[in-house]
Amino acid sequence: MDSFIGLLQSNSSYILAVAAIAFTWMVAQKMGGGGAPGSGNSRGAAASCPFVNSGAAAASSTSTATATNTEVASAAAGQAPPKLSPGHPRVTAEGRLIALDPENKIAFKLVKKEHISHDTRRFRFALQSPEHVLGLPIGKHMNLSANIGDQLVVRPYTPTSSDDDLGYFELVVKVYFKNVHPKFPEGGKMSQYLEGLRIGDTVDVIGPKGRITYQGNGRLSVCEINKPEAFRQAKHFGLIAGGTGITPMLQVIAAVLKNPKDTTTLSLLFANQTENDILVRDMLEQYARDHPTRFKVWYTLDKAPAGWKFSEGFINADMIAEHLPAATPDAQILMCGPPPMINFACIPNLEKLGFTAEQFLKF
């Protein structure tokens, strides 16, 4: 914070630029309906839910996150400060520079690649400087885009890192290789593209995107297009994830458990094909060991190995009843996974157990 204040003091033009941006932002908020997040005021979707649209950003311009620490250093030396997008302050309440831009794609450079398993990778991408945070609210995702062959491919991803991590973000990605699954002989276009990146290569990112934001202490903000912002409050979260759908759940789990004042409890039901497919298992089980009264995890596999102590088979009503909170007014269910799992295994069984449409949400 002190370094940020010093930067402002050393560059009066930067002060004027930030002031102009802040004034523009305040005017836009006033015209859009105003009100602080979490105030409980119902506002129009355009004002309160600016990141709902998660579609492809094919027409967005692309800037490159190549400034590293020289951008901040040049500003401190009286040179041109980091560029800020019109109408978007790109600075957190704590004075941290925000890397993401919801209106323009930014190219982030790959700086580290780790093989977690035969088909799972951890990618680390550098932000514009070591002082930047990604700027992704809990519950939101971002879109990665790339020209693959003659097609623009856009896919949503949720990082496993958080805004506590300065200067970078990380993605844990399951690579869907060609000629592995008979129903998808071409494999996953974006995951294979990421697999082919070399250190120093870039990927285009735009965000935040999404309709759900976790605001802390069991409070969820839900934004639907052309609807006012709505809020849900819970003491107990039941989380149902399938495969790579674990990443937004991990984001919520980490946010709750790192805050000792957040008394929300979490129970996770995590479905995968095989034991080797369980992503971030070490992180989940470490959370469960560190917070045994606040977080519990249970697995189910399509194909369980001998001696498997968890469940086997598709998610059903018995699994939900045994391992997730009951359908009380204090409970909310969050879901993320393949559409067949959500539509045929989760929702019908939740309704069977007495959950209403206001008690479950899909990322």
Length of the chain: 363
pLDDT in tens, 67-111: 433 333 333 333 344 444 444 458 887 889 999 999 999 999 999
pLDDT reported for residue 51: 62
Mean of per-residue pLDDT scores for the chain: 83
Return the C-alpha torsion angle 174, 276, 270, 349, nearest 10. Answer: 100
The H or E element spanning position 218 is none
Q: Which helix (H) or strand (E) holds 211?
A: none
Distance from C-alpha of 190 to C-alpha of 175, rounded to nearest angstrom: 9
Q: What is the CATH topology of the domain spanning 2-32+50-209?
A: Elongation Factor Tu (Ef-tu); domain 3 (2.40.30)
Instruction: Please list the residue range(s) of the chain that carry CATH number 2.40.30.10.
Output: 2-32+50-209
Please report which confidence band the pLDDT of residue 179 belongs to, taking 50, 70 and 90 as the band edges: confident
pLDDT band at 172 (very low <50, low <70, confident <90, very high): very high
* Catalytic-labelled residue, pool 14, 88, 132, 141: 141
What confidence tens digit (pLDDT) does each residue in 106-136 have?
A: 999 999 999 999 999 999 999 999 999 999 9
List the one residue out of 298, 317, 296, 305 whose CA is nearest residue 273. Answer: 305
Angle at 193 between CA 160 and CA 128, to 5 degrees: 55
Annotated binding-site ranges: 155-157, 172, 174, 177, 189-191, 247
Per-residue model confidence as pLDDT tens digits over 36-57 = 333 333 333 334 465 665 443 3
183 band by pLDDT with thresholds 50, 70 and 90: confident
Q: Which of 120, 158, 244, 264 is catalytic?
A: 158
Element (H, E) at 247: helix 246-257
* Stretch(es) of the chain classified as CATH 3.40.50.80: 234-362
Between residues 340 and 1, the one the model is more confident about: 340
Active site residue 176: no
Residue pLDDT, tens place only, 246-284 = 999 999 999 999 999 999 999 999 999 999 999 999 999
Backbone angles phi, psi at 262, to 5 degrees: -90, 110
Compare 17 and 49 and report the one with higher pLDDT. 49
As given in the structure block, the two tokens for residue 248 are 């937004």
Peptide bond preceding 208 in cis form (omega within 30 of 0) = yes
Strand 105-117 with 62-64, pairing: parallel
Stretch 302-322: mean pLDDT: 98
Instruction: Please state, in angstroms and rounded to a whole number, the distance separating the CA atoms of residues 199 and 166.
Output: 19
Q: Which residues pair with 206 in a beta bridge?
A: 143
CA distance 341 to 315: 8
What's the rounded mean pLDDT across residues 327-340?
97
Contact (Cβ atoms closer than 8 angstroms) between residue 247 and residue 239: no
Would the pLDDT of 363 be above 80? Answer: yes
For the ranges 16-30, 42-56, 249-263, 299-313, which has the lowest average pLDDT? 16-30
- 157 is annotated as an active-site residue: yes
* Contacts of 348 by beta carbon, 8 Å cutoff, 6+ apart: none
Binding site membership for FAD: which residues? 155-157, 172, 174, 177, 189-191, 247
CA distance 146 to 25: 31
User: Looking at 157, 168, 176, 287, which residue is catalytic?
Assistant: 157
Instruction: Give per-residue burial for 63-76: e unless 16+ CB within 10 Å, then b.
Output: bebebbeebbeebb
Catalytic residue among 49, 223, 336, 346: 336
Q: Measured over all CA atoms, what is the biggest interatomic distance in the chain, rounded to whole angstroms?
A: 68
β pairing state of 141-148 and 151-157: antiparallel
312 CB neighbour count, 10 Å cutoff: 12
Q: Looking at the whole model, is its pTM more than 0.85?
A: no
- Collapsed DSSP state (helix, strand, coil) of residue 272: strand
Q: Which CATH architecture best describes the domain 234-362?
A: 3-Layer(aba) Sandwich (3.40)
Residue 281, token pair as written in the block = 């298992």
